[in-house]
């Protein structure tokens, strides 16, 4: 599946634009999105009434972004980790995406802070069913540089890469890995997997089968993710 090509970039130390400029005709088309990761901000409050008020304001803003086509998907992570939620934005520039994220009422109030990353994927997600009234739980795995990460290419890393791709093919063919793609800023975050499975434990088990994870080249951070129904393939 085409997911294989996308995830092969997770382990590569080269930039996405350099790959995109290769002269060979591609059999896939990568699109640059912008991912806004929300974290607890300086004015964070866990008080129930305040949280509900901020949630309602943020959801109203998110709906407006989806309806205008500026947001593709988004939603809260259903745990209490460092990242509390995210948007995937469709913008012409990083500055435009950053402005959209900073205009979020939860960010403007200081309840959340926001961290921006370029993110690449194919156009696999569907248009949201409007009005957004139904939601589903998917499982999102952040792939990060692991304890044995190295930018060098060696026979050993190449073998890990081949095994990594074969495993991704298996997960994609099973229909359980539905969205994936690399971050474009060559930082600690390498990319994401999105699984449609029955439980967090199943998602963790599937993600942990990756040979690059087993080798320590990549590490995992897996979360339950609440998203509007019908967008994920």
Give the domain ranges of the chain.
1-22+134-233, 31-121
Mean pLDDT of 178-202: 95
The region of weakest confidence among 53-57, 71-75, 168-172 is 168-172
pLDDT, one tens digit per residue, over 130-161 is 999 999 999 999 999 999 999 889 999 999 98
> What is the chain's mean pLDDT, rounded?
88
Helices (H), the chain: 3-7, 16-20, 48-68, 94-102, 105-108, 155-173, 200-207, 211-214
Please indicate whether the domains covering 1-22+134-233 and 31-121 agree at the CATH topology level: yes
pLDDT at 10: 56
CATH tag, 1-22+134-233: 3.30.70.1060
Integer Cα distance of 20 and 208 in angstroms: 29
Site of tokens 């994936």? 180
The region of weakest confidence among 13-27, 169-183, 213-227 is 13-27
Of 222, 220, 213, which Cα lies nearest the Cα of 148? 213
Integer Cα distance of 195 and 204 in angstroms: 10
Helices then strands, each counted (H, E), the chain? 8, 8
Provide long-range contacts, Cβ within 8 A and 24+ apart, for 17-25.
17/184
42 band by pLDDT with thresholds 50, 70 and 90: very high
pLDDT at 18: 30
pLDDT, one tens digit per residue, over 2-34 is 554 444 445 554 333 333 333 333 445 789 999
**DSSP letter at 47?**
-
122 band by pLDDT with thresholds 50, 70 and 90: confident
pLDDT at 28: 56
Q: What class has domain 31-121?
A: alpha beta
pLDDT, one tens digit per residue, over 74-112 is 999 999 899 999 999 999 999 999 999 999 999 999 999
The region of weakest confidence among 43-52, 130-139, 184-193, 204-213 is 43-52
Mean pLDDT of 35-61: 94
pLDDT at 19: 30
Integer Cα distance of 78 and 136 in angstroms: 12
pLDDT at 14: 36
């Amino acid at each position: 599946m085409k997911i294989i090509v996308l995830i092969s970039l997770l382990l590569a130390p080269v930039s996405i634009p350099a790959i995109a400029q290769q002269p060979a005709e591609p059999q896939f088309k990568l699109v640059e999105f912008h991912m806004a990761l929300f974290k607890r901000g300086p004015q964070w409050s866990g008080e129930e009434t305040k949280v509900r008020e901020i949630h309602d304001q943020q959801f109203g803003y998110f709906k407006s972004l989806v309806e205008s086509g500026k947001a593709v998907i988004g939603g809260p992570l259903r745990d209490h980790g460092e990242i509390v939620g995210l948007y995937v934005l469709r913008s012409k520039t990083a500055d435009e995406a950053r402005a959209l994220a900073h205009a979020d009422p939860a960010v403007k109030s200081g309840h959340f802070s926001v961290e921006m990353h370029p993110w690449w994927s194919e156009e696999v997600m569907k248009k949201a069913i409007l009005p957004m009234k139904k939601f589903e739980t998917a499982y999102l795995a952040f792939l990060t540089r692991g304890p044995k990460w190295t930018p060098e290419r060696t026979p050993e890393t190449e073998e890990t890469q081949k095994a990594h791709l074969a495993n991704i093919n298996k997960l994609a063919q099973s229909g359980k890995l539905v969205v994936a793609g690399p971050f474009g800023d060559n930082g600690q975050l390498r990319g994401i997997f999105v699984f449609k499975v029955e439980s967090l434990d199943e998602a963790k088990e599937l993600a942990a089968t990756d040979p690059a994870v087993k080798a320590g080249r990549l590490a995992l951070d897996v979360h339950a993710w609440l998203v509007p129904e019908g967008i994920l393939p």
